[in-house]
Chain A
Amino acid sequence: DAGVIQSPRHEVTEMGQEVTLRCKPISGHNSLFWYRQTMMRGLELLIYFNNNVPIDDSGMPEDRFSAKMPNASFSTLKIQPSEPRDSAVYFCASSSPGQPFGDEQFFGPGTRLTVL
C-alpha cells in the first residue's frame, strides 16, 4: 500500500512567490496533519483536519499560510507570499479513524522548501 504522498519533494522559490504543497493521505485515514520542521523550532504542528474539517489551526504562523482539504484524499498547504523564514521541511501525516486521538501518525517524506 502506498504511504502518505507529498509533492513536490523539493521546492526552491523566490521571496514573494506563492507556494503550494500537496499531500495525499493514506486511503481510509480520516485525520490529516501538516507539520513544519526547522532547526530553530523543531517539529511543530501547523494544522490538522478530521473528516476534511480543520480542527486545530493554532499552529499556523500567520495569514500568509492557508490549508485546505477539499476531499478525503487531498490536502494543500499554501504560502502566499513566501518569505525566507518559511524555509523548512514540511511534513504531512495521516492517521486512521480507530480512536479519537492517540493513533499512530504516518508521515510522508516531506517537502523541503527553500525561499530565496
Chain B
Amino acid sequence: AQKVTQAQTEISVVEKEDVTLDCVYETRDTTYYLFWYKQPPSGELVFLIRRNSFDEQNEISGRYSWNFQKSTSSFNFTITASQVVDSAVYFCALSEAETSGSRLTFGEGTQLTVNP
C-alpha cells in the first residue's frame, strides 16, 4: 500500500491564485514525522517543513501554510498568492520511528505550474 499519497499529479494556476497541495499518509506508528520538499526545475531538493506526529498545530511561513490533521491522516500545503517562482514539483514525505527509522518515504510528487 502506498504510504504517502499525493493524488494531484499536476496543478496549473494563474499567478496570485491560492493553491493547495494534498498529502495523505498511512502509518501504524504513533511517532512519525511529515515533511514537504520542493524540487524546482534545477533539480535540487529543498526542505520546506517538518512536523512531528504530536504537534497538530498548523504553521504559516510567509505565503506558505500547512494543515496537519491526524484524524484524516492529511498534511496539506497551501501557497497563498502564488508566484511564477513557485513552479516546481512538491513532495510530501513520511518518516516512521518504529517501522523505518530515518528512512524518508516520498509521495509521487505534485507538479505545480504557476502561469503569469
Contacts and interface: CB of A to CB of B under 8 A. Distances in A.
12 contacts: A42-B108, A43-B91, A48-B103, A100-B97, A102-B32, A102-B102, A104-B35, A104-B47, A104-B50, A105-B104, A107-B45, A109-B43
Nearest to A105: B104
Contacts of A102: 32-33, 50, 52, 95, 97, 102
Interface of A: 31, 33, 35, 42-45, 48, 50, 55-56, 89, 91, 93, 95, 100-110, 112
A108 B45 CA distance: 8
B47 A106 contact: yes
Interface of B: 32-33, 35, 37, 43-47, 50, 52, 91, 95, 97, 100-109
B102 A42 contact: no
* SS class, residues of chain A in contact with chain B: strand
Nearest to B44: A109
A45 B101 CA distance: 12
Nearest to A95: B102
A11 B27 CA distance: 37
Given A31-B102, A105-B104, A110-B44, 15 more contacts: A43-B91, A44-B106, A48-B103, A56-B101, A91-B45, A101-B33, A102-B32, A102-B33, A102-B52, A103-B102, A104-B50, A106-B47, A107-B46, A107-B47, A108-B44
